[in-house]
Amino acid sequence: MKLQRLLSYTRKAVDDYEMIDNGDKIAIGVSGGKDSLTLLYALSHLRRFYPKKYDIEAITVGMGYKDMDFSPVGKLCKELGVNYTIVETEIADIVFSHRKETNPCSLCAKMRKGAFNAKAKELGCNKEAYAHHFDDVIETMIMSLIYEGRFHCFSPVTYLDKSDITLIRPLIYVREADIKGFRNAYNLPVVNNLCPFDGYTKRQYTKELIKKLQSENPGVKERLFHAVKTSNIPGWNK
């Protein structure tokens, strides 16, 4: 996927769901994975010509793994003209050594979000951007059906009243396959995730399930996304 196509998808999502206003300062959660680096690329380039003027901050919440090197991400941010902050934490040690969690994903996510929100507010951001994409949308909906017994998904725009910040998801129209193509075409400096639970989650199981459904029923991904977009799930039916 070329940058022009990425920007087209991103702008459509931003416009459809009115994600950006004049004067916004948006914190981008950069994990070092392909999704967040693609989002960083998209919002940094979009701001150059988008009619509503905004600024961005890139924030990485370090888990405490000593072998994760984010310096290539810092170099990319410098090239893109984006301020980059790393929040150092001991989340991995707390989750695995002290709490000894057998299902650590929920606690880990909660702690990472807390650290991210705090730094975003400290930097004066009024919005945060997450890199959830097209496939994440339908995976989350299927997970909700399987594990919660309800038809639900996160919203394109969510106001977090506890932290007084608005969360946006500008990549909801971008396919994961296209993000992989963008990563390869632009040689994004992906940082490998050292978490021992990476790839062994309910989301990974759901991803494989949808892949099987897609192979047996071509077009099922598009229909699942359409179901979310036209549903009564809060924030989707525009």
pLDDT of residue 69: 87
pLDDT of residue 145: 96
User: What is the torsion angle, in degrees rounded to the nearest 10, for the CA atoms of residue 90, residue 95, residue 100 and residue 101?
Assistant: -170
Q: How far apart, in whole angstroms, are the C-alpha atoms of residue 186 and residue 38?
A: 10
Closest by alpha carbon to 165, among 113, 131, 129, 128? 128
Taking residues 33-55, report their average pLDDT. Answer: 96
Residue 59: band (very low, low, confident or very high) from pLDDT cuts 50, 70, 90? very high
Residue 212: band (very low, low, confident or very high) from pLDDT cuts 50, 70, 90? very high
Task: Decide if pLDDT at 150 tops 90.
Answer: yes
Task: Decide if pLDDT at 200 tops 60.
Answer: no
- Diameter of the chain by CA atoms? 49
Task: Decide if pLDDT at 198 tops 80.
Answer: no
Closest by alpha carbon to 133, among 110, 154, 104? 154
Q: What is the pLDDT of residues 98-130, one digit of tens each?
A: 555 556 666 777 788 888 999 999 999 999 999
- Domains, in order of start, for the chain: 3-229 (3.40.50.620)
Indicate the pTM of the whole model: 0.91
Q: What is the pLDDT of residues 227-237, one digit of tens each?
A: 999 988 999 98
pLDDT of residue 98: 55
